[in-house]
Structure 1
Amino acid sequence: MSSDAADEVLRQLGVSKDYLIEFERERVEGKRLLFACLTVLLYDYCLTFGDEITFVWLKGTAFSVAKALFWLNRYWPIANYVVRAWLFSHSFLSPYLSVMKCKILPFTGWSSVINFAVVEIVLMLRVWALYDRSRWVIVFFGFLFVGGLSGSFALRKVRPEGVDLAEPPPISLTRCVRSGPDEYFFLYTIGLIIETTIFIFLVSKAWTHAVGPHKTPMITVLLRQGAIYYAVVLLTLTVVIISTVVQPMFAPVADSNLIVAITSIACNRLILSLRGVYFKQRSDFTSANTAVDVPMSPNDIQMNRYPVARAHSSRLKSPRHLRYFTTFSEDEQGGVSVSHVGRHT
């Protein structure tokens, strides 16, 4: 291409040569990060597929709200990434394909918001179950969710004062109307506030059962996995929010939908860990009580405390060698609730 022809193309695009080179570099980085996220999703899927079959689809009722939410959080992001990977792998030079891309791409972006909302619902239901399905907790979470979602939509086109956000590329280069950094800034800042609130509720309740004589395997896993989940999601949300300010980071992070892959994997791991401990504990209780005829007092029955022989003891010697499991009930709305926390004897 001659120099005059190149200058004419740049004039039509309304950008300089250096800007076009930088745009292409960011576009390539975004596509690589997008494929990396898809690869990590599929890799984690292969690693946890056995646990999914064992602890989700082969346990409980055939259908429940918890399983529906798990399915959405598990498979919707994979489908979303496959579509985005296909879109970003083609130049779509023809007018028809270009129009089709501009219609599908915003849908994948809204799907990302929906997936993030599904993760929040799953976590809220888990914490709500931990509070024995308290009415005031679910009402508070409902206001928090609706208020946060509506607030982020209301602030979509508002640029925060005092924050120098990145500039989105012109439509002459993207060919499609894309979400700007102002939308991402408020959406994920509000998401960070919601995540922090849920984590505070989780820790404040679980901590009372994670120390002293009330320590149980389920609560220990819930507290540990919940802390890991929050740390990972907090770091990812921080990176996404920073990308709305740092110009070279914005396009790659926005194109890759980084937050969707991380939150989906972290939430799936949390759910599978809890269900794994729950069903293993219930299996141990069943096998131990069918193998050993252990006398139970009326007080034990009233408090739902079921004695199980210690794992390191081959035979039951006396009542002081017994320990008691906490009674857990898996609700169909997505949580494992705690009731009648027993004592180690």
Structure 2
Amino acid sequence: MPLNANRLIRDLESSSGSAFFFLAWEILITLDDEVELIWSKPWNSWIKWAFLVGRYFSLLLLFADQVVRLVITYSTINLHDNVLRIWFALQGLIAFSIMEGAEICLMARIYALYNKNKWVGYGFMVLLSAEALTAFLGIGLTFPRPPFDPQVIITQTPGSFDYFSIATLVSQTILLALSMARYRFLYKQGYWGGTRILHLMSRDGTLAFAIFFMLSLLMLIYHVLHEPFAPDEYTWSIGLISTTECRLILNLQKLPIAEPDFTSFPELTTILTNDRSGLGTSHMMTVFREEHVPHEEHEIEC
């Protein structure tokens, strides 16, 4: 193998290893919040599963990716070509599944802002289904044929990234437009001034949209232009998507109770209150109050 090819492979493996350790570091520095705010939730809480899958499934995928790279480069173990072909082809599906989990969390926030409008919910289901169909279509149309060079896994990204990235860009644009329209409406209605929950959702949501959109765009550009670091853009994307999704959840769970009592506007998060007994912090769920059904309570966790 040429010297420059050896250098490229070492750089790629170092960068992918850095992505793995970045996500592991992120998990460690937020572990206290995770234990306090996530582990204490019941096992039938969807937000608990969204958080745990988004965090530890991503970590497992990055670890597996690093193991496969090291085995291909340094080990005398000969992995079967069909196994490597499937692993390479499914990278688009892996990236899609990670992004899909993060998008569901964003959709839940927008759905709550629209007072659980059923048409918004149906629209989100159609959007998710269209993304899934595009991702599977991309895998089917670009599945690599034998013979398969194992080095491709280290130096290239699969063709399904074209389909997945474009579908994600379209989805993110729609979600951003819906959220901005709702924030504008709420601002005109006078809810914005004293509601910290809206400021937090606007700040975190807009930042998350920007990160997801940029990662999807870079994934598409790197693949189309055959940039040498395209595979590591993919691994870093997994780590950054996982981090952003989990931070979205944790930030909303940690929002302290510091809101005026708006009976006509829903409060959308878990809140923290000081325990007067001195035993620490107690967790209380706020309720989602529909304007047309003021006494009906619904738990909104994301």
**TM bucket, shorter chain:** 0.7 to 0.9
Q: 1:29, CA displacement in angstroms?
A: 2.7
AA aligned opposite 1:237:
S
Q: Which residue of 1 aligns with 2:132?
A: 149
Which of 46, 57, 65 pairs up with 1:65? 46
Distance 1:260 1:229 in 2: 14
Q: CA deviation at 1:258?
A: 2.6
Check conservation: 1:209, 1:219, Cα contact below 8 A. Answer: no
Deviation at 1:68, TM superposition (A): 1.0
Asked if 2 retains the 8 angstrom alpha-carbon contact of 1:129 and 1:336, the reply is: no
C-alpha contact 1:328 1:339 (8 A) present in aligned 2: no
In 2, the alpha carbon distance for the partners of 1:173 and 1:136 equals: 47
Equivalent pair of 1:221/1:274 in contact (CA under 8 Å):
yes
The alignment's TM-score, normalised by the length of structure 1, stands at 0.66
Distance 1:184 1:253 in 2: 13
TM-fit CA distance, 1:108: 6.8
RMSD of the TM alignment (CA)?
3.5
Cross-structure match for 1:198 = 175
- Quote the residue 1:127 is aligned against: 110
Unpaired stretches in structure 2, ≥5 consecutive residues: 271-285, 292-302
Look up the match of 2:87. Answer: 105
Query: Using a 3 Å threshold, how does the CA distance of structure 1 residues 327 and 37 change in structure 2: closer, same or farther?
Result: same
Local SS of the residue matching 1:244:
helix
Aligned pair partner of 2:98 in 115, 120, 124: 115
Match of 1:36 in 2: 18
Q: Tell me the number of residue pairs that the alignment of Structure 1 and Structure 2 aligns.
A: 268
* More displaced stretch, 215-224 vs 100-109: 100-109
Q: Deviations over 1:299-345 (max 9, x none)?
A: x8xx738xxxxxxxxxxxxxxxxxxxx651559xxx985756xxxxx
Structural mapping, 1:193-342, within 5 Å:
193-210=170-187, 213-215=190-192, 216-249=195-228, 251-253=230-232, 256-277=234-255, 280-281=256-257, 304=263, 327-330=266-269, 337=288
Helix, strand or coil at the partner of 1:129 = helix
Amino acid at match of 1:246: L
Between 1 and 2, higher relative CO (CA 8 Å, sep ≥ 6) is seen in 1
2:218 maps to a residue whose letter is V
- Residue 28 of structure 1 deviates from its aligned partner by 2.5
Work out the CA distance in 2 between the residues paired with 1:141 and 1:74.
23
- Alpha-carbon shift at residue 102 of structure 1 (Å): 2.2
Question: 2:170 aligned with 1:189, yes or no?
Answer: no
Give the structure 1 partner of residue 275 of structure 2.
Answer: none
Q: What's the CA shift for 1:115?
A: 1.8
Q: State whether residues 81 and 148 of structure 2, in contact with CA within 8 Å, keep that contact through their aligned partners in structure 1.
A: no
**Aligned amino acid, residue 93 of structure 1:** T
TM-score normalized by the length of structure 2: 0.75
Q: CA deviation at 1:99?
A: 5.7
- d(CA) in 2 for partners of 1:186, 1:336: 39
Q: Is the 8 A contact 1:73 1:115 kept in 2?
A: yes
Q: Which residue of 1 aligns with 2:283?
A: none
Name the CA distance, whole Å, in 2 between partners of 1:26 and 1:172.
17
**Any gaps of 5 or more consecutive residues in structure 1?**
1-16, 160-169, 289-299, 306-325, 341-345
CA–CA distance in structure 1, aligned partners of residues 90 and 135 of structure 2: 18
Alpha-carbon contact 1:225-1:270 (below 8 Å) kept: yes
Seen in structure 2, the aligned counterparts of structure 1 residues 273 and 124 have a Cα distance that, compared at 3 Å, is: same
Distance in 1 (CA, whole Å) between partners of 2:287 and 2:208 is: 17
C-alpha displacement at 1:100, in angstroms?
9.1
